[in-house]
Amino acid sequence: MKYFGKKEQKVIDKFLEHLDAVEVTVRNLVKFIDAIKSKNEEEIGRLYDLVHENESAADEIRRAFEIAMYEGAFLPNFRGDLLGLSEQFDKIANKCERITEYYVLENLTIPEILIDDLVLQIELSLKSFKSAKKAAYSLVNDTTKVEKHISNSCERESIEDEIERKLIKKVYDMDIQLAEKQQLGKFVRAIGDLADKSENCVDRIQLALIKRMA
Partner 1 sequence: MIIVYLVPVIFFGWSLGANDGANVFGPTVINGIIKYRNAVLISAGFVLLGAMLDGRKGLETLSAVSSQTLVSATISVICAAVSMTIMTYIGIPASSSQAMMGSIIGIGLLKSSVDWSVIIKVIICWIATPIGAIFFAFVLYKTIGYFFNKIPSIVGKNMLLKIMGIVIGAYGSYALGANNVANVTGPFAEFLDFEMAALIGGLSIGFGIISYSKKVMYTVGKSIVQLDYFSSVISVFALSFTLWIFALIGVPVSSSQAIVGAVIGAGLARGSTHTINKKTVKKISLGWLSTPLISGIFSALIFFVLSLFFKL
Binding site for partner 1 (CB under 8 A): 1, 4-5, 8-9, 12, 72, 74-78, 139-144, 208, 211-214
Comparing CA positions, the residue from 79, 70, 62, 80 lying closest to residue 14 is 62
Report in angstroms how near the CB of residue 136 gets to partner 1 at its nearest. Answer: 11
d(CA 59, CA 51): 12
Taking the least distance from each CB to partner 1, the nearer of 76 and 107 is 76
Taking the least distance from each CB to partner 1, the nearer of 142 and 173 is 142
Q: Is 94 exposed, middle or buried (0-12, 13-18, 19+ CB in 10 A)?
A: middle
Report in angstroms how near the CB of residue 74 gets to partner 1 at its nearest. Answer: 5
End-to-end CA distance of the chain: 21
Taking the least distance from each CB to partner 1, the nearer of 8 and 157 is 8
* Residues 152 and 138: beta-carbon distance below 8 Å: no
Report in angstroms how near the CB of residue 143 gets to partner 1 at its nearest. Answer: 5
DSSP 8-state assignment for residue 5: -
Taking the least distance from each CB to partner 1, the nearer of 95 and 149 is 149
Report in angstroms how near the CB of residue 55 gets to partner 1 at its nearest. Answer: 27
